[in-house]
């Protein structure tokens, strides 16, 4: 899929939002990609996951033992990636603030993990999720995401293959432009 085709999918289901958003990192932005709306259609979610799987070089794809994603945003795309690769898909949660496996999920010692995210902006959530896999005994060999909002700038410490690169501006709390500050802010994500 080309970048334009992927963005057309987002636009077609009103998932490319404009307004004033507080992101997971605490930064502010006039744009938000609401991946849950894109993924609410199972056929579209499957198509996107298969396109994303094609972004992973074959030599890495062939090594993946299991797929893991950080809830909530990574959950559906992680599940569909598991289907695309024919691997189990588990998810990390952070009810007390730190990602870990729950619900009886466990990783074989040394298992090679593909991390799957919906969006990467600063990469903070991804790095926390990658660390969590290490604590659980696995090794993240690569990450994929539907969207890289850092436009290729982020360093996750593992090879990273997004479906699309986008660079929407984001601002620290004390640098929000007046035009943006004038719009009531919403915080769509679930990090507290």
Ligand X SMILES: O=P(O)(O)OC[C@H]1O[C@H](OP(=O)(O)OP(=O)(O)O)[C@H](O)[C@@H]1O
- Residues annotated within the binding site for orotate are 121, 149
**Cα–Cα nearest to 7, from 150, 144, 119, 166:** 166
* Cβ-based nearer residue to ligand ORO, 28 or 61: 28
Nearer to Mg ion, 116 or 176 (CB): 116
Measuring CA to CA, which residue among 13, 38, 12, 68 is closest to residue 163?
Answer: 38
- Longest alpha-carbon distance in the chain: 51
Cβ closer to ligand ORO: 24 or 47?
24
Say whether residue 120 binds ligand X (CB under 6 A): yes
Which residues 127-186 are close enough to bind ligand X by CB under 6 A? none
| Residue 160 near which of Mg ion, ligand ORO, ligand X, none (CB within 5-8 Å, type-dependent) | none
Nearest CA to 31 among 161, 169, 129, 137?
169
Asked if residue 78 binds ligand X (CB under 6 A), the reply is no
Judged on CB neighbours under 10 Å (0-12, 13-18, 19+), 1 is middle
Q: Which residues contact 80 (CB under 8 A, 6 or more apart)?
A: 39, 45, 46, 48, 49
Q: Which does 33 bind (CB under 5 to 8 A by kind): ligand X, ligand ORO, Mg ion, none?
A: ligand ORO
Kindly state whether residue 70 participates in binding ligand X, applying the rule CB under 6 A: yes
Q: Which residue is nearest to ligand X (CB)?
A: 189
Q: Which residues bind ligand X (CB under 6 A)?
A: 24-25, 70, 72-73, 117-126, 189-191
């Amino acid at each position: 899929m080309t970048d334009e085709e992927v963005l057309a999918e987002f636009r077609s289901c009103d998932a490319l939002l404009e307004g004033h958003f507080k992101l997971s990192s605490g930064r502010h932005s006039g744009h938000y990609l609401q991946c849950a709306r894109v993924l609410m259609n199972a056929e579209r979610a499957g198509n996107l996951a298969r396109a994303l799987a094609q972004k992973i070089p074959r030599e890495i794809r062939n090594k993946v033992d299991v797929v893991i994603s950080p809830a909530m945003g990574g959950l559906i795309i992680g599940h569909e990636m598991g289907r695309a690769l024919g691997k189990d898909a588990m998810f990390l949660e952070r009810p007390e603030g730190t990602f870990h496996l729950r619900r009886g999920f466990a990783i074989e010692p040394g298992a090679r993990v593909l991390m799957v995210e919906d969006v990467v902006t600063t990469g903070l959530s991804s790095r926390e999720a990658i660390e969590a896999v290490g604590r659980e005994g696995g090794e993240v060999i690569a990450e994929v995401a539907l969207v890289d909002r850092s436009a290729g700038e982020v360093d996750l410490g593992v090879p990273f293959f997004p479906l699309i690169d986008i660079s929407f501006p984001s601002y620290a709390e004390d640098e929000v432009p007046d035009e943006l500050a004038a719009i009531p802010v919403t915080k769509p994500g679930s990090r507290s």
